[in-house]
Amino acid sequence: MRILLVEDDRMIGESVRTSLRQDGYAVDWARDGRLAESALSTEHFDLVLLDLGLPGKDGIEVLRGIRQRKIGTPVIVITARDEIDDRIRGLDAGADDYVVKPFDLDELAARIRSTLRRSSGNAEPEIEILGVRINPATREVIRDGRPAALSAKEYAIVEALMQRPGAILSRAQLEERMYGWGEEIESNAIEVYIHGVRRKLGTDFIQNVRGVGYFIPRPDEKQ
Ligand code: CA
């Protein structure tokens, strides 16, 4: 899961980024509106945290701009304490939710999870395929009734693939969901993590299409 954090306040930005990374998200941090807009036009993100008062381009303008261009990435706006107008403007401009400064990091994490759940079309918080069940809210993984201990990056791969069973994700698409800007990607990292997942969840759980990418079969496709 990859999140674009758009925030010009250095302290807030650093604490949010640190907390989200600890939760296993890949986080990119844009400090002004124009950079955010160009990143959203060219790269894939699963969610945007958007401060409204920004240099370069106002957060509301960024939001209106991406919605006009049919970019449907879920957006949580970050508004100042008493700015009820801002919250309304944000929701009217196409935001999915909002948090009010100063916000609690646990509350932010819960809003991110519920927004991601809604956007992936899963009313049920848990996803189960081929005897493996994951809970995106808690990141618990259960295989055949028993908990499996996945690292944050292994979990990111499993979640990305389980959200779209049958769809092939390329190595680059998986890397995009796992790493933020400037994070070093070790060569063969994806293969190493996939190997770890297969060891823990079964060798057939993630399948490979040579030269194309990886997928988890739809339950009805199992041979
Ligand atoms: Ca600001």
Query: What are 10's two structure tokens?
Result: 């250095």
66/125 Cα distance (integer angstroms): 28
CA of 11 to the centre of ligand 1 (A): 11
Q: What is the pLDDT of residues 5-44, one digit of tens each?
A: 999 999 999 999 999 998 889 999 999 999 999 999 888 8
CA of 10 to the centre of ligand 1 (A): 9
pLDDT of residue 80: 81
Which of 20-24, 37-41, 115-119, 150-154 shows the lowest mean pLDDT across its residues? 115-119
CA of 36 to the centre of ligand 1 (A): 13
CA of 118 to the centre of ligand 1 (A): 27
pLDDT of residue 122: 57
CA of 183 to the centre of ligand 1 (A): 25
CATH 1.10.10.10 placement within the chain = 127-221
Q: Which amino acid is at 208?
A: N
CA of 120 to the centre of ligand 1 (A): 29
Structure pTM? 0.71
pLDDT of residue 1: 84
CA of 111 to the centre of ligand 1 (A): 20
84/137 Cα distance (integer angstroms): 29
CA of 1 to the centre of ligand 1 (A): 24
What top-level class would CATH report for the domain 2-120?
A: alpha beta
Rounded mean pLDDT, 153-162: 92
Q: Concatenated DSSP letters for 131-166?
A: TEEEETTTTEEEETTEE----HHHHHHHHHHHTSTT
Name the CA radius of gyration of the chain, rounded: 18
Span 127-221 CATH architecture: Orthogonal Bundle (1.10)
CA of 218 to the centre of ligand 1 (A): 43
CATH 3.40.50.2300 placement within the chain = 2-120
Is the pLDDT at 82 greater than 80? The verdict is no
Q: Dmax of the chain from CA atoms?
A: 57
CA of 27 to the centre of ligand 1 (A): 18
